[in-house]
Amino acid sequence: MNIHRLFRRSRIQLALWFTVVMGGILSLSGFAVYRSIVQSNWNALAQEIESIAGTLHDSLEPTLPVSGNPAFVLQQIFPDLCLSGQACNLSPTLIQRHTTGISDRNIYYIRLFNYQGKLLAFSPNQAAQLPKTLNSAAWQTITLVDGSRYLQFTTILHSSSAETNHSSWGYLQIGRSLVAFDAETNRIQWILGVSFAIALGIVATSGWWLSGLAMQPIYRAYQQQQQFIANASHELRSPLASLLATVEALIHLPSLSQDHTQKMLPTIERQGRRLSDLIKDLLLLASLEQDSLPLVTKPCCLNDLINDLTEEFLELAIAADVRLDSQVPLLEIYVLGHESQLYRLVSNLIANAVQYTPSGGEVILSLEFSDRLALIKVKDTGIGILPEQQKYIFERFYRVDSDRSRKTGGTGLGLAIARAIVHQHQGQLFLQSESDQGSLFTVQLPRIQRSLKC
C-alpha cells in the first residue's frame, strides 16, 4: 500500500474519531444545559402560578358562603368572571379587574368549582376547548386540539363556617398559557442546535489539523526507520559482499596455494569482525533507545575514567600522528551512572575525534565541574562540521564525509550511541563546530557529592 495513502487514511480516521467523541461530549453538554434552562423556567412558572393561587385562596376562603346560591358572592369577589349559565360582564372597572391579583389577564385564567365538581365561574378569556369537568389533580398540563398548551393548578377551598357538611367548599383552578414558554423553549433549541452545528464544524476542522500534527512525529519516525533500514542494509551489504567473494574464491579456486589462502583469511576475519561489531552496536542502540536494558547505577569517578581512556587511546593517537592530552582536576568528580556505558560514551567521542583529526592535529580531553554538574569535553582540531550538517550528526550511520568508503573505520553508530547513553543518564550532549576549525563535544551530567573513589 502507498505509505502516503496509509498515513492519510490514518489521519482521516483519527480526525473522525476525534469529531465523534467531541460531538458526543458536546451533545451531552448541550442537552444538560438545555434541560437545566427549561427545568428552571418551568419551576419558575410553577412557582408563579402557585403563588397567585395561594394569594387568591387566602382571600377567598373567609368570604365563601356556607349554603345557597354563591352567584351573588362570586360576582362581588370576581366581578370580571363569567358565572356559569349567565352572561359575562366583559367591561369591569379598573379596580374590579385588579381585585383578583393577576396582572397579565391575557395568559392567566381562573375557574371555580363547587365540591360536586360543577363549574361555577370562569374567566372570559379561557380557551373554549378547555374541559368543563373537574380534574382535581394538583398539576395538569393540558394540550388542546390546536396544539396550544396550558399549565393548570388546582387547590381546595374550605368554607370558614363549621356548618358545612362537606370536607371542602369547592375548588379553585389557576391556569396559564404556555405559548411564551414553548416559544422560549423553541428559541433555546434553535440556538443550541445552530451552536452545536457550528461547534461540530470547528471541532471537525480542529480534529483534522490536530490529527495532522499528531501524525507528523509518527511520519518522521517512519521515515527515520525506513532510512535506518536502508542505511543498515547498505552497511551490512559491503562486508557481506566482501566476505562472500572471499569465501567463493576459496571454494571455486582449489588450486590456490597455501600462501594465498593464508592471505585471504585475515580479510574474512576482518569483515566478519566488522559485521559482528555492527550487529552489537545496533543491538546496543536499540536497547538504549527502548530502555530495555536495566540501568544499574552506582557512584562513578570521572577522573579515573578520563585518565584510563586517555592511556587506552594513546597508542591509537600516536599511530594517527595526533597529540592526545587530558586535563583533569585534582578534586574527584562523581556522577551516578552505569560505569561501562559511561566508558563507552567517552570512548566513542575520543575515537571519533582521533579518526577525524588529520596528522599533526590535537585532541584534548578535559573534565570540568560546577555545584551540580559535571562536564566532559572532547575538543579536536579536525575537519569540523558544517552548520547544516550538525543537526544530523547524531543520527545513525550519518557521516560528515559523504564518501562511504569507510576509510576512517567504525560502524557509523558511535555518536548515536553516545547521545542515547547521555539521555539515559539524564544528561545532555552539545556540539560546537566550524568547518576546518575542529569540533567540541560537551557531555553534561548531574554531579553527586562523594569523598570515596569508585
Residues 175 and 302 placed together within one structural domain of the fold: no
- Given 134, 155, 187, which residue is the final one in a domain? 187
Pair 343, 311: CB distance under 8 Å: no
- Given 167, 187, 207, which residue is the final one in a domain? 187
Domain-located, residue 335: yes
Pair 339, 454: CB distance under 8 Å: yes
Q: Which of 27-41, 259-273, 387-401 has the highest mean pLDDT?
A: 27-41
Pair 99, 77: CB distance under 8 Å: yes
Helices (H) and strands (E) in the chain, counts: 10, 13
Domain-located, residue 60: yes
Instruction: Check whether 105 has a pLDDT greater than 50.
Output: yes
Domain-located, residue 238: no
Instruction: Check whether 158 has a pLDDT greater than 90.
Output: no
Domain-located, residue 226: no
> 346 or 241: whose pLDDT is higher?
346
Sign of torsion over alpha carbons 221, 226, 231, 237: positive
Residue 397's domain spans which residues?
Answer: 298-448
Domain-located, residue 194: no
Phi and psi (nearest 5°) for 93? -70, 165
Low-confidence winner among 189-193, 232-236, 332-336 (lowest mean pLDDT):
232-236
- The confidence score (pLDDT) of residue 235 equals 65
Low-confidence winner among 85-89, 185-189, 298-302, 445-449 (lowest mean pLDDT):
85-89
d(CA 37, CA 43): 10
d(CA 353, CA 58): 102
**What share of the chain in percent tops pLDDT 70?**
76
The candidate with the shortest Cα–Cα distance to 113, out of 72, 149, 70, 53, is 70
Pair 435, 388: CB distance under 8 Å: no
Domain-located, residue 133: yes
Q: Do strands 170-177 and 149-157 pair parallel, antiparallel, or not at all (unpaired)?
A: antiparallel
Sign of torsion over alpha carbons 410, 404, 398, 388: positive
Percent helix / strand / coil, the chain, rounded to 5 = 50, 20, 30
C-alpha cell at 306: 578520563
> 111 or 64: whose pLDDT is higher?
111
Domain-located, residue 270: no
pLDDT category at 95 given cuts 50, 70, 90 is very low
- The confidence score (pLDDT) of residue 146 equals 85
Residues 9 and 150 placed together within one structural domain of the fold: yes
Mean pLDDT across 219-226: 73
Structural domain tally of the chain? 2
Pair 81, 74: CB distance under 8 Å: yes
Low-confidence winner among 49-58, 68-77, 191-200, 311-320 (lowest mean pLDDT):
68-77
Q: Which of 30-44, 126-140, 236-250, 401-415 has the highest mean pLDDT?
A: 30-44
- The confidence score (pLDDT) of residue 406 equals 46
Mean pLDDT across 12-35: 92
Domain-located, residue 109: yes
Instruction: Check whether 236 has a pLDDT greater than 80.
Output: no
Helix, strand, or coil (residue 155): strand
**Mean pLDDT, rounded, of the chain:** 80
- The confidence score (pLDDT) of residue 266 equals 74
Q: What is the pLDDT of residues 355-414, one digit of tens each?
A: 888 888 999 999 998 888 999 999 998 888 887 777 777 776 666 654 433 445 556 677
Strand partners, 363: 324, 380
Domain of residue 349, CATH code: 3.30.565.10
Helix, strand, or coil (residue 450): coil
Predicted TM-score (pTM) above 0.85: no
**What share of the chain in percent tops pLDDT 90?**
23
Q: Do strands 373-380 and 428-434 pair parallel, antiparallel, or not at all (unpaired)?
A: unpaired
Domain of residue 46, CATH code: 3.30.450
Q: What is the pLDDT of residues 299-342, one digit of tens each?
A: 889 999 999 999 989 988 898 899 999 898 888 889 988 888 89
Q: Do strands 362-369 and 323-327 pair parallel, antiparallel, or not at all (unpaired)?
A: parallel
Maximum Cα interatomic distance, the chain, rounded to a whole number of Å? 145
- Given 135, 165, 187, which residue is the final one in a domain? 187
Residues 178 and 310 placed together within one structural domain of the fold: no
In DSSP notation, 29-61 reads HHHHHHHHHHHHHHHHHHHHHHHHHHHHHHHHG
